[in-house]
Amino acid sequence: MIGRLSGIVSQKAPSLRYRLSLMMKPQVVFVLGGPGAGKGTQCSRIVEHYDYTHLSAGDLLREEQAREGSEYGKLIAGCIKEGSIVPVHITIKLLWKAMEETMKKDERKFHFLIDGFPRNEDNLQGWNSTMDEKALVKFVLFFDCNREVCIERCLERGKSSGRTDDNRDSLEKRIKTYLKSTRPIIELYEKLGKVHSVDASLGVEEVFTKVKAIFDKEG
């Protein structure tokens, strides 16, 4: 009898573990939009109201660039200044490390806002091949903002941000890359019915009201 019971228990245990591992699988919202669309600003607001962790791919790359001894420092610095996109294996390594560290500290923290990624076909393929099994993409939050507003916001911020890419020359390049490489990725997710768009040219509070409506519904 005990043998049979223990058989049942051992048969059931992996299944329970499996179900739990599915429940704990990191859940991701990709946050996309042009430079200065307000991705970072809105992500900061979201984490104040919802149980999400904000990971900005751009911030992680800037940190890695500044890290002493980083083998990628020069490459990242060049890409950022030129508004081109860093090879995906670097970005994913940083994102996954940050996700793991967050979940290790608190296993209930498995909801992530991934801000500014995926930006091109290479990013998307890299995510699909290495992360598809590990994480679930819930939806894409798209901050739709026109070019003039984006440029104006970044130039204004450039007066004090210290960012090497908040200048007109880099901004033209960033916008070009966004239109050529990132928009098609957003369109691809749109075809899958996974995009929530928000008019990001409005004021911060008005944009956040719309964002809240999305998170109240989608969780």
Q: Count the residues of the shown chain that bind ligand UP5, applying the rule CB under 6 A.
A: 31
Length of the chain, in residues:
219
Rounded-to-integer distance, Cα 91 and Cα 101, Å: 16
Interaction between residue 57 and ligand UP5 (CB under 6 A): yes
The C-alpha angle with vertex 23 and arms to 20 and 25, in degrees rounded to 5, equals 110
The β-bridge partners of 166 are none
Q: According to CB under 6 A, which one of 28, 29, 55, 80 is a site residue for ligand UP5?
A: 80
Residues 31 to 60 in contact with Mg ion, rule: CB under 5 A: 39-40
Interaction between residue 58 and ligand UP5 (CB under 6 A): yes
Contact assessment for residue 113 and residue 55, using Cβ atoms and an 8 Å cutoff: yes
Residue tagged 């956040």 (tokens) = 208
Interaction between residue 163 and Mg ion (CB under 5 A): no
The item of Mg ion, ligand UP5, none sharing an interface with residue 61, based on CB under 5 to 8 Å by kind, is ligand UP5
Q: Which residues contact 206 (CB under 8 A, 6 or more apart)?
A: none
φ, ψ dihedrals at 27, nearest 5°: -110, 135
Task: Sheet with 27-33: list strands edge to edge.
Answer: 53-56, 111-115, 27-33, 136-144, 195-199
The item of ligand UP5, Mg ion, none sharing an interface with residue 3, based on CB under 5 to 8 Å by kind, is none
Q: According to CB under 6 A, which one of 46, 141, 207, 211 is a site residue for ligand UP5?
A: 207
* Residue 177 tokens, joined: 């890359």
The item of ligand UP5, Mg ion, none sharing an interface with residue 35, based on CB under 5 to 8 Å by kind, is ligand UP5
Q: According to CB under 6 A, which one of 30, 52, 72, 117 is a site residue for ligand UP5?
A: 117
Q: Which residues bind ligand UP5 (CB under 6 A)?
A: 33, 35-41, 56-58, 61, 79-80, 83-86, 91, 116-117, 119, 123, 153-154, 157, 165, 174, 203-204, 207
